Structure 1
Amino acid sequence: MPLSSENAEMVKQPIRQNRLYKVLHKNLRIPPWMIRPFYRALKISCSPAQYRLRKRLAREIVAITPPRMTIPDGAGYQLFEPDDIEGTDRIVRYCETVYQQSREAFPPEYFQKHPQKKFLFPILEGAEFCRHPELLGLMVSRPILDAAAAYLGTVPKLTGARLCWSPENETARSSQLFHFDYEDLKQVKVFINIFETKEDQGPLTFLPADISHQVQRTIGRVLGRVQDERIYEGGGRNHEVKLIGPPGSGAFLDTSRCLHYGSRCNRRDRVVLIIQFLNCYSAFRPTASFNVPPDLPGFKPDLVQRLALGIH
């Protein structure tokens, strides 16, 4: 889709950020879910043309070229097999190569910097993906991006990505326990297994959104990390979905609405690519942000991809 002069100006509109969110949440201790609606409205008022453009393009995606992969709103997730999304095989091959090269290059002191953490080590993160334009382009391929846009009702922003390695471990702590992600009320994370993943490799495990909602209605709002038995008391037992399968299998998952955990008690290594899409007007600020240059070699993004990458 070519950039008209009008659309080009909309893309260039900056998404202004300020310190208000930090003051309200960090200093005044106002819960994030109370701040988000106000903060979102404030950000939209700063860039109304881009807001309308993103919403319009999302409607066109659904109406004109419905995405092959769709995420049911009630369930909040969609599994996929290697052949369901074009380009997944290339993502897997690329990530396999990066993983092997990185393992050879890991210095011993790397693990000394993380003495308490035994899982989910980032091999690539955030802007580091810009050194791999082919991989970055595949991560915002239209089948993936269109599914996220249709679910969120707007062309989202690629706000995070990590290629992670979880070695053998015996821990069950932190994100290895059931939890929600709190970046926004809705989001889409794409999890892609880089190697075959079985139950003894600590696969991503989650409850569908409707079951997660039922759990919260029974035991109250889930804050932080929660032990399995507490979740089971709320009706979550036997509803877990485990992301096991061959290389290239994966899931679109709304981790804001689906209770989940992963990398628990691995008996063998697991490597997974995690891609995060959020509403552009979310209050969340990524710790490893993307600053994508407009001239990535070999990658010619269309308008929807430019918006997702924040290319002005």
Structure 2
Amino acid sequence: MYPGSKEIIIIEMITGIEPEIKEPEGLLVANNRVRAKDIKKQRWAGIIAAVLALAMIVSLVGAYLAQRGGSSDETAPEQQADLQPDDYVDHYQGEIERLEQYLEEHEPTEAVLLELSENYRSLVFIQEVFFDDEAKLQSYRENLISVYDQLIEMSPDKALYRMELAYLLFDKGDEDKVDQEIETIGQMLHKDADARTHLALIELLSSMEREQLLEEEIAWLQSYLEDEIFAGRADNEDQFYYAVLKGEYLGQKSEAEAILQDIIDEESEDSSLYAEAVNYLDYLNGSSGAEDTATD
């Protein structure tokens, strides 16, 4: 998995060295002390759903803290120094125990379940990078799947939760259930468009090599975004997703770069969209073999 900002923080705090991220091969940290194992290549669009999930957690954490009637005094690993991987495991396992105890005593809420999912996700990442215990890794993944099952039961109309579940089932190798989720997600997105989640669906289809369905979903999202742009309803966020679609799946790198530059020129430097546009433009400029292939 191409690591996000939280995973980079974990590696940097454990090793004292900021990892150099290289898309094709994974990552190497701490002068070869720690090498990420079996981290598959994942293109930019494939991490969009995870970014949105993190944003939802931030938006819901206030409600959760209010329910708890206070916050924990425990310092998170990212705020400490000289910690080892086992320390991170202990921290996240402690957070999981606290959250599961809370769920035994209270009705479950999205905020609590999302925080629980992030702690399990952190354990999965640490296990993949620093340890070699397949049984524990599968246990964490199964628990994470269970959390998303609960989230879907609570909010069956949220395509993002189903998208996260589909990725987890794909990692597990349960393609029959993945296919069921993909069918449901596609129907939901065609009825209530969400370009960010749709890009994550497209990346999953690409990973699964479902070429016919992949082409259909790319064409649908392209048509939807172009209609929104032509009608004047598209904002810069829609334009960003359009740039990702062009840069990743339509072979139109130069057009994607032009859209991203327009976003950068228009957005405040303090906005998250500005940062996303800058990062993706840098990614396109630094990627190899990303020449335009479109003929129209």
Structure with more helix by fraction: 2
If the length of structure 2 is used for normalisation, what is the TM-score?
Answer: 0.26
Structure with more strand by fraction: 1
If the length of structure 1 is used for normalisation, what is the TM-score?
Answer: 0.25
